[in-house]
């Protein structure tokens, strides 16, 4: 079976990586790509990533792309993702979404689409990061609240949301391991006279600089020891590879909102 994959935001950093991954993956064909505006519209998708032309051009109509694709992959921005999720729902097209920095209203549109079409959403599509999520949940469940949990992340200077979606995913995994809502225990910033650390708190620290693709560490600390689990990304290709893997996995699945743990069989 050949799966036709469309890519919204195809001229962006992640979009270009996904193009290359689709072209390199057996069983995939490139259905097309879109940009909301800009000088790339009309460009050949192969030429866009420095490869031979493939005879498919960058368009500006997401609805048309969804209609002509078996599945669409979305690494864009929240405002665009709202439009893309609505297009997935309207056309009945399977959907893979890796956009981060989503507000509750944005997520509601994705949730609505997932009632009609099979959807994989993840804060990070790396296999290694999703193993980190699973390990974090397991360790948090085993260690008591006398172990403090801190999540440290660093990304390139151009990243616009903080903490990263991956850092929040780590926090959610830790909170799930302790069977508490993350919103009840998260601490996103410390400044000035903060007082002692609250028992059970899950803290976040954010660093930005240079061209760092993504470094994440979760720390479990008590008075006697500290356990740290770290993942460092050296290529965005790991995210593109996971997204294409998710797109292939979605074929034949029932409508619903799935995660990479489902794709990888980690649950």
Provide the annotated active-site residues: 155, 159
Give yes or no for a contact between 243 and 204, defined as CB atoms under 8 angstroms apart.
no
CB atoms within 10 A of CB 140: 25
What is the enclosing helix (H) or strand (E) of 243? helix 237-249
Give yes or no for a contact between 175 and 110, defined as CB atoms under 8 angstroms apart.
no
Structure tokens at 209: 């600089």
Among candidate residues 51, 48, 50, 23, the one with its CA nearest the CA of residue 38 = 48
Give yes or no for a contact between 92 and 70, defined as CB atoms under 8 angstroms apart.
no
Among candidate residues 49, 57, 59, the one with its CA nearest the CA of residue 20 = 49
For residues 20-48, b (16+ Cβ closer than 10 Å) or e, as one string? Answer: bbbbebeebebbbbbbeeeebeebebbeb
Give yes or no for a contact between 71 and 84, defined as CB atoms under 8 angstroms apart.
no
Q: With the CA atoms of 124, 26, 263 and 58 taken in that order, what torsion angle do they form, in degrees rounded to the nearest 10?
A: 50
What is the enclosing helix (H) or strand (E) of 154? strand 148-155
Give whole-number Cα distances, 69 to 88, 150, 218, in Å. 10, 41, 38
């Amino acid at each position: 079976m050949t799966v036709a994959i469309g890519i919204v935001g195809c001229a962006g950093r992640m979009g270009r990586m996904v193009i290359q991954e689709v072209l390199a993956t057996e069983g995939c064909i490139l259905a097309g790509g879109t940009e909301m505006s800009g000088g790339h519209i009309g460009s050949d998708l192969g030429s866009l990533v420095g490869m031979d032309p493939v005879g498919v051009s960058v368009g500006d109509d997401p609805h048309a792309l969804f209609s002509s694709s078996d599945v669409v992959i979305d690494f864009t921005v929240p405002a665009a993702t709202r439009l893309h999720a609505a297009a997935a729902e309207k056309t009945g097209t399977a959907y893979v979404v890796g956009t981060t920095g989503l507000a509750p209203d944005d997520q509601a549109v994705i949730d609505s689409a997932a009632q009609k079409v099979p959807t994989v959403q993840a804060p990070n599509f790396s296999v290694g990061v999703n193993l980190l999520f699973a390990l974090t949940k397991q360790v948090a469940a085993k260690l008591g609240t006398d172990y403090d949990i801190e999540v440290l992340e660093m990304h390139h200077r151009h990243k616009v949301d903080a903490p990263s979606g991956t850092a929040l995913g780590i926090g959610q995994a830790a909170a799930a391991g302790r069977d508490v809502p993350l919103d009840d225990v998260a601490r996103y910033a410390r400044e000035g006279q903060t007082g002692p650390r609250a028992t059970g708190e899950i803290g976040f620290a954010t660093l930005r600089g240079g061209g760092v693709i993504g470094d994440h560490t979760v720390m479990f600390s008590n008075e006697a020891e500290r356990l740290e689990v770290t993942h460092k990304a050296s290529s965005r290709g790991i995210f593109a590879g996971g997204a294409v893997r998710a797109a292939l996995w979605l074929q034949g699945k029932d409508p619903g909102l799935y995660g990479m743990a489902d794709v990888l069989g980690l649950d």
